[in-house]
A and B are shown apart, each in its own frame.
Chain A
Amino acid sequence: DIQMTQSPSSLSASVGDRVTITCRASQGIRNDLGWYQQKPGKAPKRLIYAASSLQSGVPSRFSGSGSGTEFTLTISSLQPEDFATYYCLQHNSYPGFGGGTKVEIK
């Protein structure tokens, strides 16, 4: 099975900060990676698919990059509504999620 290591597991940031979250795959997965945002009590929401394609309707401050084994989700200027938990999902073999990153208010 492909393991996804997501870091950090949590971070504190202020509104307006640039935030970067990383996922590393245990083996190459080309660009078969998505990013999801989850708020408390809600289902996850897709932000990015195929590593760097922005889901329709998602603000352009969100971006994804990477290929192979290392991937990043960047929020260019953190907004109040972005405080949430973020997960990566690999789909190269049977799907698997990263452990999540909780973005909290500093």
Chain B
Amino acid sequence: QVQLVQSGAEVKKPGASVKVSCKASGYTFTSYDINWVRQATGQGLEWMGWMNPNSGNTGYAQKFQGRVTMTRNTSISTAYMELSSLRSEDTAVYYCASGYWFDPWGQGTLVTVSS
């Protein structure tokens, strides 16, 4: 079936970077954009950016410009989201979601930023 499987939970110190992976299966990876969304505990959904797996083109929310990088490895149908200069406010669950209408979603990756 069509699914996205994300990498496991991460604990990082302030100032560090984190790289989350999102492996697609059940469809042609290069056919649909990958979006990244995050959700702090008890808060709403926040769109971070998108990547076209075919071209590698990206678009980032202004809030994350300069701190986020989205890449992919088409040979293993995997997308990556790297967030740098982490601060405590970046503690959240990070999701990938496929396609224009965000379906399916990965299971989420908890990133905890703590000294």
| Interface residues in chain A, defined as those with a beta carbon under 8 Å from any beta carbon in chain B | 1, 34, 36, 38, 43-46, 49-50, 55, 87, 89, 91, 94-100
Contact = CB atoms under 8 A, between A and B. Distances in A.
Given A46-B101, A50-B101, A95-B50, 7 more contacts: A34-B102, A36-B102, A43-B108, A44-B45, A44-B105, A94-B61, A97-B45
A1 B63 CA distance: 12
Nearest to A47: B103
B107 interface: yes
B101 A100 contact: no
Interface residues of B, number: 20
A9 to B, nearest CB: 10
Given A43-B95, A43-B108, A96 B101 contact: no
Contacts of A34: 101-102
A100 B102 contact: no
A55 B103 CA distance: 10
Contacts of A87: 44-45
Contacts of A99: 44
Nearest to A45: B105
Contacts of A38: 45
Contact of A94 (B59, B97, B107): B59
A75 B45 CA distance: 21
A99 B44 CA distance: 6
A73 to B, nearest CB: 15
Interface string B41-77: 0001111001000000001011000000000000000
